[in-house]
Structure 1
Amino acid sequence: MSILSRLRHSFLSRHRHRHFSTSILSPDSTTPLSSKQKTRTAISLIKTEKNPERILEICRAASLTPDSHLDRFAFSLAVSKLTAANHFDGIRRFIDELKTRPDLRNERFVSHAIVLFGQASMLDHAIRTFKETEDLNVNRSVKSLNSLLFAAIAAKNYKEVSRIYLEFPKIYSIEPDIDTYNLVIKSFCESGSCGAVYSVLDEMDRKSVRPNATTLSTFIGGCYKEEKFEEVGKVLKFMEERYGMYPGLSTYNVRIQSLCKLKRSKEAKALLEGMISRRRKPNSVSYSHLIHGFCKEGNFEEAKNLFSQMKKRGYLPDSDCYFTLAHYLSEGGDFESAFEVCKESMAKGWIPNFTTMRKVVNGLVSVEKFDDAKDLIKQIKGKFAANSDRWDEIEAAIPQ
């Protein structure tokens, strides 16, 4: 091929790529999208797309990188959908293709690629990517080692976590840091082996690596998961005596959440009240865990009381707290309370999902609150045009 032909071929390829990107992300617009607009459009398209190859095309068109949180979310969403579709070869091809991009020849991308393979339970490819970093002219450090440990945890391959932890630092001359040890502790706690954490703490002592709040919270969470309630007190005492560490807010929240998961929400509430009596301030997360816990146990009055108390004390509920309460109240038949929660949530711009909103609307109709049901539908249609046809049908069935 002559130089002129190669230049012409290169120009046409670039031109086709620009047309390809525009046609997928903004078919009706002639104005180029900014990087952030591309990502937001890609996320919206990926959420509804069912064709795996089309999902990959959307990602390519958006030219995603791991440099921004939004792009990382888009990557993760795409891999989740491809994994659900068992399109593992597509994941491998796409990530391997990204490795050839000059702008992604760095440890940040390699580390992110390792995590994505772990998310897809493709741990062999995550390990391969870790090993080939030097072939990509990328320096290998504790950052990529920690990404590999995280990938193994995401894949729930706890045996591999132990092997990587024991072998790779020696093979690749990498010195573990606090994040390395916390990931190994997380693995032991998730796999029901929290007793092994003491050996990791001994290793940290030998390497002069001091535990932090994450170490303590993870260890405590593991004890609760195994329902070793007496061990919780022993761990707290051990950490205090050995390291001078005292439980902070993050540890209290882990304890509250752990008790709620075990359907011991009354004990979790007592823990919160004890915390307040000792002049330790909770936060909105503390209350959200309790509200979720009481909802799961069917104690909606307690959940509503905590929601009210939370706001009175100046702790602002987040969108998940509103959505959780609306969902469980509607499931429990308290449609009027669910309606009030939905209205308050929507006033903040947070709209519960279609299933929850339909349940609330149908529930309001069942208790003859027709005007409230219509009001809710009107607000929803004003926010979302996409489901307007479905809401028109529901509205048409409401008695006049």
Structure 2
Amino acid sequence: MEKLRKLSPFRLDSLLRLQKDPKLALQIFLNPNERSVPNPKPFRYSLRSYDIIITKLGGAKMFDEMERVVQKLKQETRFVPKEIIFCNVITFYGRARLPNLALRTFDQMPSFGCQRTVKSVNTLLNALLACREFEKMGEVFVGIEEHAAPDACTYNILINACCRCNDLGGAWNVFDEMLKKRIRPNVVTFGTLINGLCVNFKLSEALRLKEDMERVFRVKPNGFVYSSLIKGLCKADELNLAFKVKDEMLKRRLEFDLSVYPSLISALFKVGRKGDVNGLLEEIKQNGCKPDIMTYNAMIYGFCQDENFDAAFGILSEMENKGCKPDIISYNVIIGGLCRVRNLTEANDLFEDMPRRKCAPDVVTYRILFDGLHDGMQLKEASLILDEMIFKGYSPHAASVMRFVDRVCQGDNLKLMRTVLNSLGSGNLIDADTWRMVVPVVCKIDRLSIAYKLVDTLVIQ
């Protein structure tokens, strides 16, 4: 039998990089030469191998296994781990909303002989921002001088945190401190501030800051700055100004940003200028792009708001013909619009046709149709949707259930009531309020045998 070749560190790097299954990659990493010789010597891992396996395990959220590898890294004496490895670990914990583990990783870095710099500090701040741990961010920033001087990225993260808290005063204070320390703001700084101002409808300040970034700081606005302004102006119904900013963006030949067009289309429908939508679609094509799913969904929403459902269905057909598959939002918007105008038959038909269209209804679809049916007093049909929804593991809104049960009780239909109670019971959705609504109705109806059965149903469930 041919003797198996001993695996080299370089070959291990290649195998780990090619292995897509993180569990198999870990097995290879931990036992690189298990079968090659009877008593293999300790394997000389490369730093690259550690980097690859930690990245794979962190990406798969296999955090216990990742920590095992990180602790194994502490035993290495031939090299000192690079800061980027710990930055990656901190980032994985931030994405998983595990702020305490991110902080622990940062605190443990010196025990590995790894010096912390502003790069790992910024990574930690970003992870805490993702977890909305704003107080802990402040604590980290207060002690930042122990590790490194803050840079533009540090202040950008802090400004972003203030904007997410709607603390525009705090954001401006951070910006002022940045200038006092002679740290030059960049396009990310201005983009974050402008977006925060637009979200809070401070549009005059946002436009003025956009002018200052060019005139005073000599920083050119990017697509994100223009996109934030356009979306903010559309929400504030400043449509003419939004189009002016959009035209300026196109004139400057920045990277074409499709994301502004749904906002512009929605604004046009809102002010009754849906005839101008075709011009926007033509503009998209002239820039070498195709309308995306968000653009089409904005049109569907606009037509549904206008109760022009033929046009909304026409958009669905156009999407399919042009290779842009409608998503669940496309269908939910139309079903919601049909329910709003009490066109329940067509709403239910589209709901039942969704699997054929290769788009399965989700919990929102069921809730929309359930609410529409019982609001339209189609109680039997609503009970069927309720039963199917609960069977699939979806839960209706509690307030919707209460309204529905109340309507069933008003109809004095004991058979339907029992069906509804069975469905709610199977999903463990019968509470004390349901008892209070159902029992008086049962007791006032002179059909005691059926009444007892209903009470038994409640007790069993």
TM-score range, shorter-chain basis?
A: 0.5 to 0.7
Superposition CA RMSD, Å: 3.4
Unmatched runs of 5 consecutive residues or more in structure 1: 1-33, 40-63, 76-94
Q: TM-score, normalised by structure 1?
A: 0.67
Which position in structure 2 is the counterpart of 1:358? 402
Alpha-carbon deviation of 1:177?
A: 2.0
Deviation at 1:357? 0.9
Instruction: State whether structure 2 residue 161 is matched by structure 1 residue 113.
Output: yes
Closer, same or farther in 2 for the Cα pair 1:124/1:376, shift >3 Å?
same
Aligned residues: 313
How far, CA to CA, are the matches of 2:350 and 2:266 in structure 1? Answer: 23
Counterpart position of 1:184: 229
Pairing partner for 1:372 from 400, 405, 419: 419
Which residue is equivalent to 2:195?
150
Determine whether 1:389 maps to 2:389. no
Query: Which string of whole-angstrom CA distances, capped at 9 and with x for unpartnered residues, describes residues 345-378 of structure 1?
Result: 3233321221101122223334411211221331
User: How many angstroms apart in 2 are the aligned matches of 1:374 and 1:117?
Assistant: 43
* Alpha-carbon distance in 2 for matches of 1:395, 1:178: 58
Whole-Å separation in 2 of the counterparts to 1:262 and 1:131: 47
Q: Structure 1 residues 336 and 111, CA, compared in 2 at 3 Å: closer, same or farther?
A: farther
Residue aligned with 2:131, SS: helix
Letter in 2 for 1:297: V
* 1:209 CA displacement: 0.8
Q: 2:54 matched to which residue of 1?
A: none
Gaps spanning 5+ residues in structure 2: where? 1-92, 100-123, 145-153, 443-450, 452-461
| Distance in structure 1 (CA, Å) of the matches to 2:196 and 2:377 | 41
Distance 2:376 2:129 in 1: 37
Residue identity (%):
19
1:100 aligns with 2:100: no
Does residue 290 in structure 1 map to residue 350 in structure 2?
no
Question: Which residue of structure 1 aligns with residue 19 of structure 2?
Answer: none
2:294 maps to a residue whose letter is: S
Instruction: Call closer, same or farther: CA 1:393–1:227 in 2, change over 3 Å.
Output: same
Aligned twin of 2:296: 252
Structure 2 length-normalised TM: 0.59
CA distance in 2, matches of 1:240, 1:352: 42
Q: Structure 1: how far apart are the matches of 2:293 and 2:378? A: 33
Q: Is the 8 A contact 2:231 2:263 kept in 1?
A: yes
Three-state SS of the structure 1 residue aligned to 2:201 is coil
C-alpha separation in 2, matches of 1:130 and 1:297? 50
Superposed displacement of residue 287, structure 1: 0.7
Residue correspondence of structure 1 range 7-22 to structure 2 within 5 A: none
1:25-36 to structure 2, matched below 5 A, reads none
Distance 1:134 1:69, change over 3 A: closer
Q: CA 1:279–1:99 in 2, change beyond 3 Å: closer, same or farther?
A: closer
Cα distance between partner residues in 2 of 1:38 and 1:361: 41
Tell me how far apart the structure 2 counterparts of residues 340 and 126 of structure 1 sit (CA, whole Å): 52
2:343 aligned residue: 299
Measured at CA, do residues 133 and 343 of structure 1 come closer, stay the same or move farther in structure 2, by a change above 3 Å?
Answer: farther
Distance 2:195 2:369 in 1: 32
Larger Rg: 2
The structure with the greater share of residues assigned to helix is 1
Cα separation, 2, equivalents of 1:377 and 1:158: 49
Check 1:328–1:144 CA distance in 2 against 1; reply closer, same or farther (3 A cut).
farther
Looking at both structures, which has the greater relative contact order when contacts are Cα pairs under 8 Å and sequence separation is at least 6? 1
Paired position in structure 2 for 1:325 = 369
Match of 1:61 in 2: none
Distance 1:281 1:157 in 2: 37
Q: 1:275 to 1:269 in 2, by over 3 A?
A: same
Q: Sort the Cα spacing of 1:377 and 1:397 in 2 relative to 1 into closer, same or farther, 3 A.
A: farther
